[in-house]
A and B are shown apart, each in its own frame.
Chain A
């Protein structure tokens, strides 16, 4: 029987959920992307775009 994040340890029921902020078998909620995290995501998008452009140039010129 699935015991919703509990495990018998040494005859003592250990509730994993007590030290796991999101219950083990609960679905994950989407994180709120705002503030500095939003800035980080835009930086990531720009970085990926720049690297993809460089890779295309590298392959086109044969310099990669």
Chain B
């Protein structure tokens, strides 16, 4: 027992020592005056928010947005995505404060404050959802690389190699910088939508004539849930809080953490809108219903030429890659926090193998599932939606409870508007999930 405690203390010492280098750098920038110091401070502190939000536009997200635009055009979902962006910001800002004030990850907070039952509940849900979401990321990478004629096994091996390399070899700050450069590739959808020359007047009109296209049907409800599920997901709460902690952010950095989250939200919404406007302009109304992503890319290729199809495919590969990196880290952080293992990307691989192993195993398992011939990938995709839908209100509830816990947050507890927003978001998710649940029992309820 004593040996074990000594082991934990030694790891904590090493982690703290490495983290102090980053904290000292931030502190010296805080102390400096002038515009360049301010810009440098922003550039150094930017990261967790942008990474979380861009990784949220993952392969599954890109596919969902593309199918939404192809099915419903550029009507209802443009204003609703802006609302979803606001929701994502409100939720993720709370994780910044919680991480900066407590210096502990989300899993550790739930386990420590609400006990092992809710700790296990959150951890098991998170890990299963992460593995299944990783499957969708590798499917996206496979489809995207397939456009360039790359076989599945090569794209799988390349993606795993990159994912494992950045996690095992780099310290947190370098890992974050490399990930941010990969995340920048998500912006590829913006020049792509400009290539499509959409009717911007139609885009603007969607705000004036906001209505439900084709009426409120079970299919429409499913698409709404899929879009909300894509915009706010349980892993995001765990990932951003752990990033904030691993980066060593303190209460002095909360303002920049908010800015970081705001910039990330803006980028996420712009990219999501670009994808919906792209497929809404090029694919919607072509007479094809229930298109899969390969069919959508094929139509984009016919309308914009091979360059358009290849750019979209690259975007899909990037979306899957950045999300795989984030999900792998999220699993490792959550396991480390729950079981008091080493829990920092700053830790050397051999010293903190317990921390790195769960994340890497989850990624390898997901990549292996994608390689299985005739694997029920559609079923797995649906399963991840179901688990995330059930888990999300619970995860949000724990977040709100922690943000209202004065013993934990002190003066940084939620303000009234944040609590109202939080509970409205939970209520909205519960109602949408409940309505969808009713359509399971009464399939013709909204026909």
Contact = CB atoms under 8 A, between A and B. Distances in A.
A61 B12 contact: no
Interface in A20-41: 20-22, 24-25, 27-31, 33, 37, 40
Given A16-B250, A22-B407, A37-B401, A52 B390 contact: yes
Contact of B409 (A7, A21, A54): A21
12 contacts: A7-B20, A10-B28, A10-B31, A20-B103, A22-B102, A28-B108, A28-B112, A44-B394, A51-B389, A51-B390, A52-B390, A54-B441
Contacts, number: 102
Contact of A9 (B24, B114, B397, B409): B24
A51 B436 CA distance: 10
A60 to B, nearest CB: 10
A15 to B, nearest CB: 11
B13 A48 contact: no
Contacts of A63: 439-441, 443
A14 B27 contact: yes
Interface residues of A, number: 37
A21 B408 contact: yes
A42 to B, nearest CB: 12
B437 to A, nearest CB: 4
A44 B429 CA distance: 13
The residue in B13, B382, B386 that gathers the most chain A C-beta atoms within 10 A of its C-beta is B386
A2 B37 CA distance: 30
Contact of B393 (A47, A52, A58): A47
A51 B104 CA distance: 30
A25 B408 CA distance: 13
A46 to B, nearest CB: 11
Nearest to A24: B103
A48 B394 contact: yes
A8 B24 contact: yes
Contacts of A3: 16
